[in-house]
Amino acid sequence: MATLKSSTLLKTFGSDIVGDVFSDQGRRGSGSVHVIMGPMFSGKSTSLLRRIKSEISDGRSVAMLKSSKDTRYAKDSVVTHDGIGFPCWALPDLMSFPDKFGLDAYNKLDVIGIDEAQFFGDLYEFCCKAADDDGKTVIVAGLDGDYLRRSFGAVLDVIPIADSMTKLTARCEVCGQKAFFTLRKTCDTRTELIGGADVYMPVCRKHYITNHIVMKTSKKVLDHADKARAESCVAAAII
């Protein structure tokens, strides 16, 4: 099979471009992407922290990132539902991280952990750059589905470029069986509604379906009551 030699590339593209390409060759392709997903309360942040601590004890240089949208716990810590914390960068997006962290410091990093990854719109782009071009090990933890069990953010988009993926389960709050889904306990319909056990609960398939029907019916009743109240206000105003 024919191979493309650097001398051929030099003639074709010029020395500057080829110099850039070959200077990165040591790192290029040496990274990896690992995805930890599952419903809320399934231990994703705990699992991510465990992986990160293991990398640190292996002597690797680590940075932890999370979305600045999630301020439920300390803004610059990843905190699990059990209250265990770890310092991190809270960012609105991922692609600006190398500049914000400093390019020299970024180049020395071995491992990047990303918590609550469903909130980052540029997750796929960042994972490609960090693992493919920059040789980083990227460990992504996030919700695979929202409260309606639709794909959440870009977490599932990363699967085709991942080396490994783990789907964790929680315990159903109703029956104690394995929980795969997150049920929202309120009638709020925004996709991104940040909350803890006051808003969400993990449930098995059976209790997702039965409770979801109850929630949908309650919302219909409330909507109907709101509409009737608004109509009676209008009628009162006309009188």
Which 145-174 positions form the footprint of Zn ion (CB under 5 A)? 172, 174
Query: Is the alpha carbon torsion for 208, 214, 217, 222 positive or negative?
Result: negative
139 forms beta bridges with 34, 113
Distance CA 174, CA 163 (A): 35
Query: Which CA distances in Å does 185 have to 157, 173, 216?
Result: 28, 12, 11
Q: For tokens 């470029």, name the residue.
A: 161
Find the radius of gyration of the CA atoms of the chain: 23
Q: How far is the CB of 214 from Zn ion (least distance, A)?
A: 14
Which range, of 35-43, 176-184, 190-198, 223-231, touches Zn ion by CB under 5 A? Answer: 176-184
Q: Using CB under 5 A, count the residues that bind Zn ion.
A: 6
- Residue 116 is a catalytic residue: yes
Which 180-209 positions form the footprint of Zn ion (CB under 5 A)? 204, 207
- Using the minimum distance from each CB to Zn ion, give the nearer residue, 34 or 207: 207
The only residue of 17, 105, 175, 233 in contact with Zn ion, by rule CB under 5 A: 175
- Using the minimum distance from each CB to Zn ion, give the nearer residue, 146 or 173: 173
Token readout for 15 is 């020395």
- Using the minimum distance from each CB to Zn ion, give the nearer residue, 159 or 213: 213
Choose, from 55, 116, 125, 192, the residue flagged as catalytic.
Answer: 116
- Using the minimum distance from each CB to Zn ion, give the nearer residue, 10 or 174: 174
Q: By three-state DSSP, how is residue 35 classified?
A: strand
Distance CA 172, CA 180 (A): 8
For residue 157, give every residue at least 6 positions away whose Cβ sits within 8 Å of its Cβ, in sequence order, or none: 123, 124
Q: How far is the CB of 181 from Zn ion (least distance, A)?
A: 10
Q: How far is the CB of 208 from Zn ion (least distance, A)?
A: 8
Q: How far is the CB of 179 from Zn ion (least distance, A)?
A: 7
Which residues carry out catalysis? 116
Binding site for Zn ion (CB under 5 A): 172, 174-175, 177, 204, 207
